[in-house]
Amino acid sequence: MKFYDLNQLEPDEVNPSYHRKAVYGESLALGRLEVQKGAVTLPHSHDTEEMIYVLHGAWLFHLPDGDVLLKANQMVCIPAGVEHSSEVIEDTVAIDVCSTIRHDWRTGQDKSLHDNPEQFLWAV
């Protein structure tokens, strides 16, 4: 058994508007996410089932069956292999639970999914 205090964990800056505190068990991962309005996650899929539970704020998920807007005390379960993307409508705090330990979180390989290409476009 392990004890974790999220108050004592340093957040991982996925990007300036997306911070994650993650803990890992033997077969699952849990992340506490703090994400600012306007943050996006690009289309992707992974081999883990994922559940996102919004504590407060508003987060819009784009799924094959249609869009789902999550607000406080709502959650979505995304099966493994299902492509999804998202955009944060209001500053949001959420819990993300995945059915494996998410090596991409540990190594930072997922950070490129959270870059908004539009933030780098400059008017000519």
What pLDDT, in 10s, does the model give residues 65-81? 999 999 999 999 999 99
Residue 76 domain-assigned? yes
pLDDT confidence bin for 105, thresholds 50/70/90: low
Alpha carbon of residue 59 to chain centroid: 10
Residue 57 domain-assigned? yes
Contacts of 95 (CB under 8 A, 6+ apart): 30, 31, 32, 33, 52, 53, 55
- CATH number at 42 reads 2.60.120.10
Residue that has been written with the tokens 């058994």 in this structure: 1
Structural domain of 55:
13-118
Residue 6 domain-assigned? no
pTM of the model: 0.81
Query: What is the per-residue pLDDT across 112-123, written as a single tens digit (0 to 9) for each?
Result: 666 665 554 444
Residue 84 domain-assigned? yes
First to last CA, the chain: 57
Tell me how many domains the chain contains.
Answer: 1
